[in-house]
Amino acid sequence: MIYLDYAATTPVDQRVLDAMLPYFRENFGNPSSVHRLGQKAETAVESAREKVAAILHCRADEIVFTSCGSESDNLALRGAAMMERITSSRKWILTSKAEHHAVSKTAVQLEKEYGFLLEWLDLDEHGAVTVESLSKAVCNDTFLASVMYANNEIGTINPIAELAKIAKANNILLHTDAVQAAAYLDVNVEKLGVDLMSLGGHKFYGPKGVGALYVRKGTKLLPHMTGGGQEFGLRAGTQNVPYIVGFAEALRLAAEERDSRTAHVRPLRDHIIGQVLESIPDSKLTGHPENRLPNHASFVFKDVDGNLLLQMLDSAGFACSSGSACKTGNPEPSEVITSLGYDRDWALGSLRITLGVDSSPEHVDEFLKSLPALVEKARGLNRK
Contact predicate 286/299, CB 8 Å? yes
How many whole angstroms separate alpha carbon 180 and alpha carbon 154? 11
How many whole angstroms separate alpha carbon 24 and alpha carbon 341? 49
Residue 87: exposure state from Cβ atoms within 10 A (0-12, 13-18, ≥19): exposed
How many whole angstroms separate alpha carbon 229 and alpha carbon 60? 17
Contact predicate 41/65, CB 8 Å? no
Closest C-alpha to 87, from 95, 75, 79, 76: 79
- Residues designated as active site: 326
| Position 5, amino acid | D
Q: Quote the longest CA-to-CA distance of the chain.
A: 69
Residue 189 to residues 77, 216, 346, 355, Cα–Cα distance (Å): 18, 9, 37, 26
H runs (alpha helix) in the chain? 14-20, 36-56, 69-87, 101-114, 131-137, 160-169, 189-192, 241-256, 258-279, 306-315, 335-338, 344-347, 361-383
How many whole angstroms separate alpha carbon 171 and alpha carbon 141? 10
How many whole angstroms separate alpha carbon 76 and alpha carbon 70? 10
How many whole angstroms separate alpha carbon 151 and alpha carbon 181? 8
How many whole angstroms separate alpha carbon 229 and alpha carbon 318? 45
pLDDT string in tens for the chain (384-residue length): 999 999 999 999 999 999 999 999 999 999 999 999 999 999 999 999 999 999 999 999 999 999 999 999 999 999 999 999 999 999 999 999 999 999 999 999 999 999 999 999 999 999 999 999 999 999 999 999 999 999 999 999 999 999 999 999 999 999 999 999 999 999 999 999 999 999 999 999 999 999 999 999 999 999 989 999 999 999 999 999 999 999 999 999 999 999 999 999 999 999 999 999 999 999 999 999 999 999 999 999 999 999 999 999 999 999 999 865 565 556 678 889 999 999 999 999 999 999 999 999 999 999 999 999 999 999 998 776
Domains of the chain listed by start with CATH number: 2-8+258-383 (3.90.1150.10), 14-256 (3.40.640.10)
